[in-house]
Amino acid sequence: MTERSYHDPLHGAIRLDDRDPAEALAIALIDTAPFQRLRRIRQLGPAFLTFHGAEFSRFTHSLGVLELARLALRNLERHHPQLAEHRAVLYAAALLHDVGHGPLSHSGEEMYGLQHEAWSGRLVRDHPALRGPMEALAPGTAEAVADLLEHGRHPSPAIKALVSSQLDCDRLDYLLRDSYSTGTSYGRLDLQRILAALTLAPDGTLALHPKGLMAVEHYLVVRNLMYRSVYNHRLNVVCNWLLCRVIQVARRLGPQLVWADGVMAQWLWDQQDLDLETYLANDDIRTGYHLERWMEEAPAELAEPCRRLLQRRLLKATDVSLHAPARRLELLALARQLAEAEGFAADGCCALQQRQSRGYHAYAGGLRLWDGRHLQALEQRSALVRSLSQPVELAWLIHPAEVAPKLRHRIEV
């Protein structure tokens, strides 16, 4: 008999017992090299340059998601025992939902132009260390997990929703964990009430008992605040732009001017032929080492953004969200002009970053309330949720600190 405990700062002791086949599978998957690699992938990418506590890994988060999936399923099984047959698929999917992440998590997706969901599915299907234990438990398990992670498909819509929805175990854990690690105080969710409110609608989809309405409203407000204060923080925007700039310039300069080891060379210049082992060989350590080498010996165009990141000499970001799109472009042209006058290469230090943020997507797998008699969309019941459904336009003008006084004066004028 093997019993395993992970002492988590949020969830306490996460205990796994191999007498339960689904938990035995989780233990086997945790011990694989692809999952252990997640210890070397920061959950929040370069956010540690803004929030110094944001150093934790995808490994830590993935264990938390597994624990929440177990708690959620345990609550649902009390009234819907038929869900127990999906336990192994749920545990494996919860644990492996991020196994395909590249270096620096979501920042790495922007840098390298890859989707972690596709790679998670591919790894589950094709990597022997992951596929083997799942198929040994029950043939077809690996394909079921891969399909759930890559395409969001599963015969049970409730199991699918626990893995990927607007109230899935992934989101619940990362909001709690990201808030804890960044020192923000928004993420104090009423987790027990949310999990206790989970139920099945008559069509088998996941729903919420109305007793959990306020807890879910709070969760959606917290999510909105975390996007505004952490995920879309202006310095995170700057860091992500600099990281993308590094990879863009390295690819353009090519192997004749840029040193890279065999793994990084394939990531940069032969990405379409990445195999599983070469994909897994890149993590925060390898990418970070290349940033150091490029800072020291690459052409200035590449060395400069690496230096800004490694020495935390970040560019500034001015919020121009309230300006019309045409005015934003005028301000970008002005920033470039001022930067060139100060001796900077404008392409390397001036940019306009724009995106939309929405606290709740009513029509993207929206949440529903079920009291045993009436099924109702969450936004129909809650004016607060309706307000979160409105998109918010976000725009930042990136520029050197040296031009900030003149630029901001012109913006005010």
Q: How far apart (Å, rounded) are the C-alpha atoms in residues 263 and 36?
A: 19
Q: How many CB atoms lie within 10 A of CB 94?
A: 30
Instruction: Give domain status of residue 81, yes or no.
Output: yes
Burial-class residue 78 by CB neighbours within 10 Å (0-12, 13-18, 19+): exposed
State which of 232, 254, 278 marks the end of a domain.
232
pLDDT tens across the length of the chain (413 residues): 688 999 999 999 999 999 999 999 999 999 999 999 999 999 999 999 999 999 999 999 999 999 999 999 999 999 999 999 999 999 999 999 999 999 999 999 999 999 999 999 999 999 999 999 999 999 999 999 999 999 999 999 999 999 999 999 999 999 999 999 999 977 689 999 999 999 999 999 999 999 999 999 999 999 999 999 999 999 999 999 999 999 999 999 999 999 999 999 999 999 999 999 999 999 999 999 999 999 999 999 999 999 999 999 999 999 999 999 999 999 999 999 999 999 999 999 999 999 988 888 876 668 999 999 999 999 999 999 999 988 899 999 999 999 999 999 888 87
Burial-class residue 278 by CB neighbours within 10 Å (0-12, 13-18, 19+): middle
Show the domain range for 329.
Answer: 234-356+394-412
pTM here is 0.96
Q: How far apart (Å, rounded) are the C-alpha atoms in residues 46 and 59?
A: 17
In one-letter notation, the amino acid at residue 319 is D
In one-letter notation, the amino acid at residue 58 is R
What pLDDT shows up at residue 358? 83
- The CATH number that applies at residue 38 is 1.10.3210.10
Number of domains in the chain: 2
Assign 336 to helix, strand or coil. Answer: helix
Q: Are residues 224 and 279 in the same domain?
A: no
160: nearest Cα among 93, 218, 103, 227: 93
State which of 203, 232, 261 marks the end of a domain.
232
Instruction: Give domain status of residue 67, yes or no.
Output: yes
Q: Could you tell me if 306 and 384 are in contact, meaning their C-beta atoms sit under 8 angstroms apart?
A: no
Q: How far apart (Å, rounded) are the C-alpha atoms in residues 228 and 220?
A: 13
Q: How many CB atoms lie within 10 A of CB 281?
A: 17
Q: How far apart (Å, rounded) are the C-alpha atoms in residues 8 and 340?
A: 50
**Measured torsion, CA atoms of residues 83, 85, 143, 39, in degrees rounded to the nearest 10:** 80
Instruction: Give domain status of residue 343, yes or no.
Output: yes
Dihedral sign (CA 51, 103, 391, 171): negative
Q: Are residues 177 and 246 in the same domain?
A: no
Q: Are residues 152 and 171 in the same domain?
A: yes
What pLDDT shows up at residue 1? 62
Q: Are residues 324 and 185 in the same domain?
A: no
Q: How far apart (Å, rounded) are the C-alpha atoms in residues 179 and 185?
A: 6
State which of 232, 252, 271 marks the end of a domain.
232
Q: Are residues 161 and 83 in the same domain?
A: yes
